[in-house]
Structure 1
Amino acid sequence: MRDVTFRTLHHSAFTMPPGEEQRARDFYVGVLGLTEIPKPASMRPIGGWFRSPADGSGIEIHGIPDPDFTPNRLGHPAIVVDDLDALAERLAAHGVTVEPDDRFPGYRRFHTYDFFGNQLEFLQEN
């Protein structure tokens, strides 16, 4: 059996209630500052795709409407940032709660929740 090397994570996905694309934009673009990118024509036109930076060299997050939506309070993307304090200030300025967590050695981090109640983790190396 040949070994496989996992190189990078292409994207993470979150679910949201159907018809809430604007609310997803409000959070992922308006609060986090990501850029919404067009979906390929072969994909369903609902939901939203968000990226930072816009050139695709960083992260990408896809929103997927789910008629049986329940917020994901445990499973979450963990996103490394270059300025955790600036992001915490940005979230607080938009009324978004930041929950600091010091249990991960070598990193400062916090958890927060999007407008649908899905958990997100942000980290910065010490």
Structure 2
Amino acid sequence: MIHHVQVACPPGAEDRQRAFYTGVLGWTELPKPPLLAVRGGCWFRVPGIGGPDGELHVGVEEPFHPARKAHPAFVVEADVVAAAVMAAGYEIHWADPAEIPGRRRFHTNDPVGNRLEFLDS
């Protein structure tokens, strides 16, 4: 089991990240411990399907370079999440089903350009 994964954002981008992860994906923001909160960033609870919840941590990084290939992958109801992501104006890219037989999945980028993968539950 993985407790959390971390992606990065540039300084001052936390509100854009919050709007995506809470507003589009519907994840709950978690309070950061006070000693870590001074560094900026934000944390989110990732709902588990058939298992425990996990966390996504967004840390501030300078200079910032979005992860274009490396990415976390989340098990979700893919059609529901894809519809929400597209309704919010983000592009999605469905993967070729032959790449990983039996795993329907798509990729998108968060507001700062980090690559994310969503796999059907």
TM-score, normalization: structure 2?
Answer: 0.89
| Identical pairs, percent | 46
Q: What value does the CA root-mean-square deviation take over the aligned residues?
A: 1.7
4+ long deviations beyond 2 Å: none
Mind listing any 5+ residue stretches in structure 1 that lack a counterpart? 1-7
Alpha-carbon shift at residue 73 of structure 1 (Å): 0.6
> Cα deviations across residues 100-120 of structure 1 (Å, max 9, x unaligned)?
002112210000000001000
Alignment match, 1:63 = 58
Alignment match, 2:106 = 110
Alpha-carbon shift at residue 59 of structure 1 (Å): 2.4
Equivalent position SS for 2:117: strand
Greater relative contact order (Cα < 8 A, sep 6+): 2
Determine whether 1:48 maps to 2:75. no
In 2, the alpha carbon distance for the partners of 1:58 and 1:121 equals: 17
Alpha-carbon shift at residue 21 of structure 1 (Å): 1.0
Equivalent position SS for 1:117: coil
Equivalent position SS for 1:29: helix
Give the number of aligned pairs: 116
* Bigger Rg, structure 1 or 2: 1
Determine whether 1:86 maps to 2:80. yes
TM-score, normalization: structure 1?
Answer: 0.85
